[in-house]
Amino acid sequence: MGSNKINNVLRLAWSAPAIIIRIIIRRLKDHRLRPIITVSWKAMRQKKRLPPGEFVALEPAERSDQQFLLKQSQRIGPVFKAIWGRRFCTCMVGLPLCRRFLEQHSDDLTPQSLELESFFAKGFLRRMQGEDHKKYRRLILKSIDSQLITRDSTLLEKIVADELAVFKTQQKGDTGPPERYIKTLKNIADQLLIYSFFGAQSGSDYFEKLETMYNLLGPNGLEWFPEDKHKRTFNAIRDYLLNQLDEHRDNEGSGLQRSIVGRMYRAGGLDETSLGNLIYMVEMGRYDMRLLFRWLSKYAAENPALLERIAAGKTVDHEGRVSLQEAFVLETFRLNQSERLMRIANRDINFEGYFIPKESLVRLCLWESHKSSESFAEPFTFNPSRFIHQHPGKDQFSPFGLGSHSCPFAQFSINMSSIFIKMLAMDYKVEAIADGPPIRARYHWQPAEQFSVRLTAR
């Protein structure tokens, strides 16, 4: 045999396994083994090391144990691999590590979030990159009125107080069914957000119309894969708001003009994308806030003595850094609601000696990072005073994210939640009904499905 022929035979022998593996991968289509074989083969070919750990399916593992990822990180180390859905996923625990990863690779990553590019030009802020992200983020930050809470505190407090009072009157035989309490929390979140963003007050025709349309946009919570019918509702909200802005153009003191959308309009920053973003922020935010109010209610029921102190107005019992109700909210964020940042790798990444293949997921674990016993003594105990005596640094506590995509509504959420817990504490004693272990719902962990409260007037 000539040397050419030998070379051809060797090349064939060498590429045969590659061809076979590619055929297997193609055949496996949606099979759960596909991501495992694909990434292992890719890492092997490139002589790279995947993160340690097993290819464990995260969803079922987490559902059965909220601490699953935390335990994995303690057993394996702060970077480890898993499978999420049908995708390879690299998990990271520890805020300095997560921050370092984002700093080194921000250009190689896309945040995973709602895809709204077919609804408005540049899509959702969370997924934007580069100059577009900078521009729209700046516009939004500029439109948030720093005076909102002080100026409108009476109105905001009344929203919470009125809805809780309605719930109290509807309690049957001293018990409030969970669906009724969820509806109360939903009404509060909707009103706080629709007022702050669009200046519409409950009871007005303007508010009723917006609320009706929002209920069509997400009747059962946030729709992760919006369809044509959602787009039609979105368009109706957009057109209605544009109409209102036009009608009230000269009405200087109106709630609409002072609202986030009004301020943006007057500053000349309102375009298709910024308006689309505001509409969807309310949609996502009202869902998040409703869930957060449930967590706050659970901790309220479990900590009557703290509620007494908030009710007694003992809100600043320290060196004057944060109020007790704010510390209550921060401790709730530390224990729950703030869970993870999700990114998709746009290209192959090498990080701290590990290979993160293109198109795979990266999960930056906030919930787990907030349970570090080095940062927080007795990390599973609800203890707001840890925020009163000393505020943890950003390497210990970052419930609103890390880096350029961190939550522009962090202070807004803390303020609204502080109002919620203050009004709950001032007016009622709170007892838990049907409390139990938290459950993993569609997007977040939540208190037990049947959890509700019994309110007794103080």
Q: Which residues are near ligand HEM by CB under 6 A?
A: 111, 125-126, 137, 193, 281-282, 285, 288-289, 292, 337-338, 341, 399-401, 405-409, 413
Q: Compute the least distance from the CB of residue 143 to ligand HEM, in Å.
A: 12
Distances (CA, A) of 114 to 107, 110, 149, 175, 346: 19, 12, 29, 37, 17
Distance CA(270)–CA(276), nearest Å, equals 10
Distance CA(238)–CA(282), nearest Å, equals 13
Distance CA(205)–CA(85), nearest Å, equals 44
- Write the DSSP string, 343-389: EEESS-EEETTEEE-TT-EEEEEHHHHTT-TTTSSSTTS--THHHHH
Q: Compute the least distance from the CB of residue 408 to ligand HEM, in Å.
A: 5
Task: For ligand HEM, give the closer residue by CB, 389 or 394.
Answer: 394
Q: Compute the least distance from the CB of residue 29 to ligand HEM, in Å.
A: 29
Task: For ligand HEM, give the closer residue by CB, 175 or 404.
Answer: 404
Q: Compute the least distance from the CB of residue 16 to ligand HEM, in Å.
A: 43
For ligand HEM, the nearest residue by Cβ is 285
Task: For ligand HEM, give the closer residue by CB, 81 or 405.
Answer: 405
Pairing assessment for the beta strands 87-93 and 361-365 based on DSSP bridges: parallel
Q: Compute the least distance from the CB of residue 14 to ligand HEM, in Å.
A: 43
Task: For ligand HEM, give the closer residue by CB, 82 or 335.
Answer: 335
Task: For ligand HEM, give the closer residue by CB, 28 or 342.
Answer: 342
Task: For ligand HEM, give the closer residue by CB, 262 or 401.
Answer: 401
Please, what's the b/e burial string for 113-140 (b: 16 or more CB within 10 A of its CB; e: otherwise)?
Answer: bbebeebbebbbbbbbbeeebeebbebb
Q: Compute the least distance from the CB of residue 455 to ligand HEM, in Å.
A: 22
Pairing assessment for the beta strands 87-93 and 79-84 based on DSSP bridges: antiparallel
